[in-house]
Amino acid sequence: MPTGYTCFIEDGKITTAKDFLLLCARAFGACIEMRDEPLLEPIPEKFNGDDTYRLWLEDAKTELSKLKAMSQDEVHAANEAEYQERVDKWKTGLKEREEKRQAYLSVLDGVQKWTPPTQDHEGVKIFALDQIKMCLQDLRQMDRFTEEPVKESDEEWLSTHIKYCEDDIRRYEQHVKEEEQRTASRNLWLRELRESLDRLEE
């Protein structure tokens, strides 16, 4: 019975060792990322690296330039807007947790009032009470760790955002460098494979 690879020999789509070896190469080395693509999708002459980190790097540099060019009024407005957004989220979180707490307490009251019809049913009540109490405990924990936002001074806000951008830039530059090295290594592997297969035809 043919495999997903050898079926192409059986149906005549692959007739040479070179083509079969190229097909099999998709499960190895530099071509491993092609394993989920259609098997007869040609292996490219060379791979291009992933541009995600390069794009993020450009965005971070643009953001850093914007931050450094902001006037005092722009910094103040941005700080105020961000603080208000954090306060709004905090208030929304408090409200949502209180609504959940009231819903649990309402159900808890009913479960506590329920009298199981037999001893065999008591486990249901115990389990239900444990489930609700566990969720109420989780809500109390969330309340403890969700403090009201503290407003930074405009200088602190700007300094913090510049530091975030600079940290992002350093991290993205490292990722770009690693991706370039990975791509160069994949292309070397692919070139060596093709050169060795070309010798089969000599």
pLDDT computed for residue 109 by the predictor: 92
DSSP the chain: ---TTTHHHHTTS--SHHHHHHHHHTTSGGGGGGTTS-TTSPPPSSPPPP-HHHHHHHHHHHHHHHHHH--HHHHHHHHHHHHHHHHHHHHHHHHHHHHHHHHHHHHHHHHHH---SSGGGHHHHHHHHHHHHHHHHHHHHHHHH-PPPPPPPHHHHHHHHHHHHHHHHHHHHHHHHHHHHHHHHHHHHHHHHHHHHHHHT-
Say if residue 5's pLDDT is above 90: no
Taking only the tens place, the pLDDT of each residue in 129-182 is 999 999 999 989 888 888 889 999 999 999 999 999 999 999 999 999 999 999
Q: What is the mean pLDDT of residues 81-86?
A: 96
Taking only the tens place, the pLDDT of each residue in 7-45 is 888 888 888 888 888 888 877 777 777 777 777 777 878
pLDDT band at 123 (very low <50, low <70, confident <90, very high): very high
Share of the chain above pLDDT 90, in %: 63
Q: What is the pTM of this model?
A: 0.67
pLDDT computed for residue 11 by the predictor: 85
